[in-house]
Amino acid sequence: MSGAARCIAALAGRRIDADGADPARFPLSAAPLVRQRVTEVLRRERPVALVCSGACGADLIALEAAGKLGIRRRVVLPFPPARFREESVMDRPGNWGGLFDAVIAETEAAGDLVVLHANGGDQAFAAANAAIVEEARSLAAQSALARLLAIIVWDGAPRGKGDATLGFRELATAADFEVREILTG
């Protein structure tokens, strides 16, 4: 492990592509490589906690890796877990449901599940991004850690209006987080 100062990490990124997605941004076949890259960043940066949402793809990969590394996990969902599971976990290829259920149960038991009860659409995900940034800042203050890290897992290209990953990157940058990008390809 490097001598990097401990930090609080916030993460957002791409979901696994829907079948036939064009352009491909995060194909299911890239999940093992992304898992390896996320794990490497978490080992190198040594966060005390990871704050992110729970969608299939970047979020669940990072939450699984953080759990294996013994890193505290705080999950922020824009709406209740059952709805989120249906709309942002089970609607894409891969077997993500069991991992989501386990992460939600573990974080809820630890008092680290935050549910916003937003209505839906792009605004709900923007609200979740803002809450992720604020939760990370709050955890940093509670831990007396000045270092905040944003991990962006994506293909490196904005997808246009309403791109939640780009929105998260912009929020984190404006809040003076250090930024690390992990490419999905």
For residue 180, which phi and psi values (nearest 5 degrees)? -125, 135
Classify residue 127: in a domain, yes or no.
Answer: yes
Residue 122's CATH number: 3.40.50.450
Q: Which range of residues forms the domain containing residue 141?
A: 7-183
Which is more confident, 95 or 5? 95
Predicted confidence at residue 4, as pLDDT, reads 67
- Does residue 24 sit within a domain? yes
Question: Within a 10 A sphere around the Cβ of 88, how many other Cβ atoms?
Answer: 23
What's the rounded mean pLDDT across residues 130-153?
Answer: 94
SS3 179: strand
Please indicate, yes or no, if residue 105 is contained in any of the structural domains: yes
Q: Is the dihedral of CA 98, 40, 132, 27 positive or negative?
A: negative
**More confident site: 43 or 144:** 43
Q: 79 in a domain, yes or no?
A: yes
Bridge-based pairing of strands 148-154 and 113-115 is: unpaired
- Segment 98-110, tens digit of pLDDT: 999 999 999 999 9
pLDDT at 120 over 90: no
- The reported pLDDT for the residue numbered 161 is 86
Segment 122-147 shows an average pLDDT of 93
For the chain, the residue count is 185
Mean pLDDT of 172-177: 97
109 occurs within a structural domain: yes
- Is the pLDDT confidence value at 1 over 60? no
For residue 11, give the H/E element and its range: strand 7-13
Q: Which of 57, 75, 56 is nearest to 139 (CA)?
A: 75
**Total domain count for the chain?**
1
Mean pLDDT, rounded, for 48-55: 98
Among 23-37, 63-77, 102-116, 157-171, the range scoring the smallest mean pLDDT is: 157-171
Residue 1 lies in a domain: no
**Residue 2 belongs to some domain of the structure:** no
- Partnered with residue 12 across adjacent β-strands are 152
C-alpha 124/C-alpha 77 separation (Å) is 9
Omega cis (within 30) before 27: no
Average pLDDT over all residues of the chain: 95
